Amino acid sequence: LFLSKMKDLVSFERNNEAHKLLKQINQYLEQESKFLPRPSGLDAIEAILENDDCVSPKLRDAKVEDLRSLTRFFGCSTETFVLAVNLLDRFLSLMKVRPKHLPCLGIGVFHLAAKTIEEECNIPSAHDLLRISHCKFTVSDLKRMEKIVYEKLNGEFKAVTTLHFLHLYHALVHCHVTEGKEFLILDRLEAQLKACNCRFVFTRAKPSVLALSLLTLEVENLKSSDLFEIILRIQKHSKISHCDLAYWRELVSKCLADYSSPECCKPDNKKLVWIVSRRTARHLQNSYYSVPELPTIPEAGCFSETESEDSCEEMSCCEDGLSNTPQNDAEGEFFPQDLLHQSKWQNFCFQTQSPF
C-alpha cells in the first residue's frame, strides 16, 4: 500500500511538472515569430554575391563561428551564444551591413547577449573583447554599434530561441520516461544546435521546429518506440506539420553529417602557447626568461635543521630578486595580459572542437 501511494505521488508530480512545461511551451509558441529574422532581409542576403560590398551568407557563417569561439574562450553559456546569433541575424535582416563593419557588429551582439544572460561577474569587458578579437575599432565604436543594435531591435533582447524549446522539449520527454529507459543527453543536443546555428540556412527555421528536428534525430538514433511516441505528442501539441518537420529534420541531418565528416575542419585540441614576438622580446627584461636556481631537495627524506634554514634563505633571496627587478611600466602592463590573451586567442581560433 505504501509503495502504491508513493507511485501515485510520483505520477502526480510528473503530471504537474508536465502541465507547467506545456503551459510554458504555449507561451513560447505565441512569441517565437516575433523574434525571427525578417524573410525579405534574408532573401536580400542570399542574393548577395561574394564580391559585393555587403555581408553574404558565407561571411555571416564565418562570423557566427567567431562568436562560438568567443563563447568557449570566455566560458559563456550556450544561451549567450544562441542569443548573440539571434541578434546578429535579426539585425542583418533589417540593415545592410558592409563587411568592414561586421567585426564590430559581431562583438557588439556578443557583448549585448552576455550582458543579457550572464551574471555580472562573467560578462567580458569591452576592452577584453576588442583585445582578444584583434579588432581595429575602439571601445567608443563598440558602444555606438551596441546603441544602433539596441535601437533597431527596439531593445528586445530576451528573445525566444531554439534553445528554449530544446530545454522544454527535453524536460517534457523526461517527465514521461520511466526508469531504465533511454535518456536524451542535453549537452549533445546543445552542441548539435550550435553546429546548426553556424549555417545560414537555419536562419529561416522556426525555433520550435528546429528544436523538435534535433530531438527527432536523436530519438531515431536511440531507436526507442516509447520516446518516439512522446515526440509525436509534442509535435501535435506544438502544431508542427509532418511536412515541416521532415523538411528541417533532413537539413539538420545533412548539416550534422557534414560537420562530422573528415572534410570538416576539426580541432586537434592543441595546448595554448605563449608566443612572444621578436619586437616584444627585445624589450623584455632578463627576469622574464631567467629561472631562479632553487635549492636541491635531498632524497634522504628529511632535512637537517641547517639545510632547512639555508634552503629557506636561498628561496627568499630568489623571490626578492624577482619582485625587486625594475620593470618597464608600459611593457610590463602589456606583456602579461594583452600578449598572453592575444596569443591564446590566436591559437584558440584554430581549435574548432567537434561538438558531438
Q: Residue 225: pLDDT band by 50, 70, 90 thresholds? A: confident
Burial of 184-214, coded b for 16+ CB within 10 Å and e otherwise, reads: beeeebbbbbbbbbbbbbbbbbbbbbbbbbb
Q: Matching CATH topology for 17-33+160-260 and 36-153? A: yes
Place of cell 521546429: 209
Per-residue pLDDT of 162-205, as tens digits, reads: 999 999 999 998 887 765 455 788 999 999 999 999 999 999 99
Q: Residue 101: pLDDT band by 50, 70, 90 thresholds? A: very high
pLDDT above 60: residue 291: no
122 Cβ neighbours under 8 A, 6+ residues apart = 74, 75, 76, 114
Mean of the pLDDT values across residues 247-270? 76
**Is 1.10.472 the CATH number for 17-33+160-260?**
yes
Q: Supply the DSSP symbol for 155.
A: T
More confident: 9 or 149: 149
CA 59 to centroid of chain Cα atoms: 18
Q: Is the dihedral of CA 96, 145, 149, 199 positive or negative?
A: positive
Which CATH number, 3.40.50.720, 3.40.50.2300, 1.10.10.10, 1.10.472.10, labels domain 36-153? 1.10.472.10
More confident: 264 or 134: 134
Show me where the domains of the chain are located: 17-33+160-260, 36-153
- Residue 254 has what pLDDT? 94
Mean of the pLDDT values across residues 99-116? 95
- Residue 236 has what pLDDT? 93
- Residue 207 has what pLDDT? 97
To the nearest whole percent, how much of the chain has pLDDT over 90? 53
- Answer whether 240's CB lies under 8 Å from 208's CB: yes
Q: Residue 147: pLDDT band by 50, 70, 90 thresholds? A: very high
Per-residue pLDDT of 292-323, as tens digits, reads: 455 555 555 444 444 444 443 333 333 333 33
| Identity of residue 202 | F
pTM above 0.75, yes or no: no
- Residue 17 has what pLDDT? 83
